[in-house]
Amino acid sequence: MKKLNVFLAEAFFLLFSFGAVAQTKTGADFFPGKWNLLVAGTPNGDIKMIVTLERKDGNLGGTIEIVDYENIKISKIDEKESSVTLYFNAGDHDLFILLEKKDENHVVGNEMDLFDVKGERIGKTGSVNANIQAQPSVTGEAYFIGKWNILAKGLPQGDTKMVTGYGCTS
């Protein structure tokens, strides 16, 4: 009988230890990796970016690749239990993106408390899941209204940044 009790106790602890391993990632373990993000509704249209977050020496850091534009180093990251805030500089503007855990492979949030952000973890194969789609965009002349940051590359004088506006009243 004593051997049966010991066997049952060992089986219970073995099952309990498997259950502890199967828990979902939270906090510090959830956010490291590659994320495909979509910032919707900016004056320049929807912006697609790939965020890479890595933990080094206990600190979370990373980069933001704005698709078809530039790579940006994240200057600061504030971590909480189920969210992170990424601080960075793009187009001579200090910006931040808040990301909150939605489920095991998705995040939601906002950029500068103004624009909705949704994101999806990029799998280990590196392929971006096509489930994140841009919102229907403005077409015709209305598309060009607003302030535009333009980067002209490969000019004889070198690369140059320009800011222009069309149809702006301010």
Q: What is the pLDDT of residue 102?
A: 93
For the chain, the distance separating the N- and C-terminal CA atoms, rounded to the nearest angstrom, is 86
* For the chain, domain boundaries: 31-126, 136-170
| Residue 55 CB contacts under 8 Å (≥ 6 apart), including other chains | 28, 32, 61
The CATH superfamily label for domain 31-126 reads: Quinohemoprotein amine dehydrogenase alpha subunit, domain 2 (2.40.128.120)
Per-residue pLDDT of the chain (170 residues; tens, 9 = 90+): 556 455 555 655 555 554 444 444 555 589 999 999 999 998 888 999 999 999 999 899 999 998 877 899 999 999 998 999 999 998 888 999 999 999 989 999 999 999 999 999 998 544 444 455 544 555 555 555 666 777 888 888 888 887 776 555 44
Question: Given its phi and psi angles, is residue 97 left (phi above 0), alpha (psi -120 to 50 degrees) or beta?
Answer: beta
